[in-house]
Amino acid sequence: MKNIIRLEEAAMFIVSLYALYYLDADGWFYPLVFLGPDISIIAYTAGNIPGAAMYNFFHHKAIAIIVFMFGLYLGNELLMIIGIILFGHSSMDRMFGYGLKLDRGFNYTHLGVIGKKHKK
């Protein structure tokens, strides 16, 4: 079942990249799909709870869809692109097994514990 979910996330990631292409987004937007939302990790310097909250805000697909739809409603292409970036990045993370963070620490996600010291 895990592989099916990863394939589904990979498909959503590919659709996100195509959506950027379809909107004729500038080339510099593409690297943001891979790294942009991860800037939210900085919030972990304030502790696990604010870190998880900020990380989850930038990695939640519903937030990405809301941003995209708001941009569509306003006719604002930049907001649509930001929504696509957030959605694509979240799909990429889930494809690799990284989920939304729990407030116990960075390695605790809704998909399970991540990190080398937690592998069995």
Which among 99, 103, 104 is positioned nearest to 114, based on CA atoms?
A: 99
Provide the percentage of residues in the chain whose pLDDT is more than 90: 76
* pLDDT value at 64 more than 90: yes
- Say if residues 108 and 102 touch (Cβ distance below 8 Å): yes
For the residues 15-21, what does the mean pLDDT come to? 98
Average pLDDT in the chain: 91
- Say if residues 95 and 78 touch (Cβ distance below 8 Å): no
State residue 68's pLDDT score. 98
Amino acid at 65: I
* Of the ranges 52-61, 91-100, 108-117, the best mean pLDDT one: 52-61
The burial class, CB within 10 Å (0-12 / 13-18 / 19+), for 7 is exposed
* Domain boundaries along the sequence of the chain: 2-118
Q: Give the confidence band of 61 by pLDDT, cuts at 50, 70, 90.
A: very high
DSSP 23: T
Q: Give the confidence band of 116 by pLDDT, cuts at 50, 70, 90.
A: low
